[in-house]
Structure 1
């Protein structure tokens, strides 16, 4: 009896855990589209998830969205470097002719299911809406708007799973904020994130800060943040610049694409 009890207990211990919803999504999809940010082609990809997709034997196609926020030369470099990917803009609809053609001919004689994944706020639902031709999945500029998986038909033979944005555990807070994957009100160090954005704009988009806030952007990031607080009326008692509030304004403007040169 004791031996049989041990075997039964051992059997229970060896039982495999149930697959997570994300793994079930991968297994129920014929292939997957990962929506990434064209401004950050490597940083905005979920490498852990990509590895799991390969482990499950599924095909992955990367779609770089927000191409309207980068130069045409940068678009060309993306297309040259990532030859099996697509570069699109859900705002201008750039690149969608090629993406539609690909999806239409991926399996012309049978129904296929495509899982759509990516960081929060990379534009997954907006991409799906354009592919379908009408608002099938709700869209919002706020990170994490898609709360649960939705299955949608975008053509007679193509079904798509739209998923909530998934960020790997432990992802750097600056990266999450810059990608729009974390809302400003939930940041622990909004000032640090804002100064990173300010420094990036000073280098890559000269004149943008002056145009948006009417400040002298030749100064250091912390001084610029104080100047923005003064210009936007973000003041504490005694007229002291509230750089915390100003930082959240800068981050919010960045995430809503208002800081474009």
Structure 2
């Protein structure tokens, strides 16, 4: 079953749908086509921002202020999970169902399978930092809650930069990883470059642009080619992988 049919099936079969977003990139991880389908379904939708352990306290407060009825969680630290589980239990009682059936949808790598695991506790859905680990619909059962984990939804237009930043596309499969890495650096230039300096042991000056920073990272970490030229592909892969697995975070 393809990505979209699986997601649509999860929505159709569920009593409640959880729409998982990446707290680091709340707008980028939204999918307008999917949101439209959720609205048309008439189902109760719980919006969950995952990976709050990778953002600062200030950003968490901003998310809370701007998204009053959403849930902010970390599947790593388990923060926010109890509140979400309690909400699901209340919905089960309100809908008068013995076992609440929950559909889990969102982009690849936003943490749907990890969220399924912590909500159910005994679930054994495979979790990986590589995009596309969940291949088909998978039911995970627990006390009064059954969760249907679907493969991550890929947008109809394959925007490599967006998918790369979201971790929804593996860098090895990218046509232009250098551009994706540059765009990740752009995120830090907007929010603060301190963590880039700490992670790669470089000094970023006020006049440095995104490519200057890219080169400095390459000089610090990549094997140099003849003439002292950095290996741009190696550097790009390094930045993207560090970002996707959470070793490189924005304060």
Using structure 2 for the length normalisation, give the TM-score.
0.89
Do the aligned residues in 2 keep the contact of 1:226 with 1:242 (CA within 8 Å)?
A: no
Q: Paired residue for 1:139?
A: 127
Q: Which runs of 5+ in 1 are unaligned?
A: 1-18
- Give the Cα–Cα distance (whole angstroms) in 2 for the partners of residues 41 and 241 of structure 1: 33
Cα offsets for 1:106-158 (capped at 9, x unmatched): 12242221110010000111111111123521111111111111011122x21
- Partner SS, residue 33 of structure 1: strand
Query: Superposed, which structure 2 residues align to 1:1-261 within 5 Å?
Result: 20-108=5-93, 109-110=96-97, 111-155=99-143, 157-218=144-205, 219-260=208-249
Do the aligned residues in 2 keep the contact of 1:234 with 1:243 (CA within 8 Å)?
A: no
Q: Note closer, same or farther for the CA distance 1:253–1:20 as it changes in structure 2 (3 Å cut).
A: closer
Measure how far apart 1:240 and its partner are. 2.4
Measure how far apart 1:238 and its partner are. 4.7
Q: Which runs of 5+ in 2 are unaligned?
A: none
Larger relative contact order (CA 8 Å, sep ≥ 6): 2
Cα offsets for 1:141-192 (capped at 9, x unmatched): 111111111011122x211101111121114221111111111111222111
Do the aligned residues in 2 keep the contact of 1:66 with 1:90 (CA within 8 Å)?
A: yes
- Give the Cα–Cα distance (whole angstroms) in 2 for the partners of residues 233 and 178 of structure 1: 21
Measure how far apart 1:237 and its partner are. 4.2
Using structure 1 for the length normalisation, give the TM-score.
0.86
Measure how far apart 1:42 and its partner are. 2.2
- Partner SS, residue 92 of structure 2: coil
- Give the Cα–Cα distance (whole angstroms) in 1 for the partners of residues 7 and 200 of structure 2: 42
- Give the Cα–Cα distance (whole angstroms) in 2 for the partners of residues 22 and 35 of structure 1: 12
